[in-house]
Amino acid sequence: MSRRSALLVSLALVACASRSGSGPSDAQLSAARKAAPAGAKVFALYCSSCHGEHGDAPFAPAAMGKQALRRRPGLENGLDLFRYVKARMPPGDKAGSLSEEQYWAVTEYMLRVQERPLQEPFDATTAPSVRLE
């Protein structure tokens, strides 16, 4: 096997392994898109280029899926997640460049993909009740 062929096979195996069971299911994504269409649109436009269409991270930490949104210092609930995303995303000098509504929408979408129970409306008053465990 040539060096190039070996590299291609290795890359294919890594790609397959990274998608196997780590991301959200198609059913989870579909339900979240239906429940939070504005957030799904924001995620597709501003997040998927780094975090992947399924949020399971080709170039950045997982935003959705089994390994995402686990309890970490400073990320205890939905309001913490909103503040984190707003302060740091999109990365670099674009952080904080979306509207308040877009940040709430994408935070809601991410939580709905995780099938977290949310109160309506999802906002600063209800977000603290959503635990990130």
Q: Which superfamily, per CATH, for 23-129?
A: Cytochrome c-like domain (1.10.760.10)
Question: Could you tell me the residue ranges of all domains in the chain?
Answer: 23-129
Single pTM value for the model: 0.81
Looking at residue 7, what is its pLDDT? 39
CA gap 1, 10 in Å, rounded: 12
Percent of the chain scored above 90 by pLDDT?
A: 61
Calculate the CA dihedral of residues 45, 113, 27, 21 and round it to 10 degrees: 100
Q: Using pLDDT thresholds of 50, 70 and 90, give the confidence band for residue 120.
A: very high
Q: Using pLDDT thresholds of 50, 70 and 90, give the confidence band for residue 65.
A: confident
Looking at residue 48, what is its pLDDT? 93
